[in-house]
Amino acid sequence: MTDTREWHKSTYSAEKGSCVEVAEGATVLVRDTQHRDLGHIAYPHQAWAVFLNDLRRGVHD
């Protein structure tokens, strides 16, 4: 089965080329824009939501 999710640049990516791409679904896939060939890391949707909430609150600054 082929995963047909679309990748998009994360809104939290840096302006100077330090970018990650995200494909959202039941699991969230994250990959380095400059090294797509190395694959991705999969996170459970809930874990990704907690991480984003922490970013909004400045927990990971």
- Spatial distance between the Cα atoms of 28 and 8, rounded to a whole number of angstroms: 12
Name the percent of the chain lying above pLDDT 70.
84
Q: What is the pLDDT of residue 44?
A: 96
- In the chain, where the domains are located: 8-57
From the number of C-beta atoms within 10 Å of its C-beta (0-12, 13-18, 19+), residue 4 rates as exposed
pLDDT grade for 23, boundaries at 50, 70 and 90: very high
Instruction: Specify the residue for token string 């809930």.
Output: 46
**Is the model's pLDDT at 9 over the cut of 70?**
yes
Alpha helices per DSSP H over the chain:
45-57
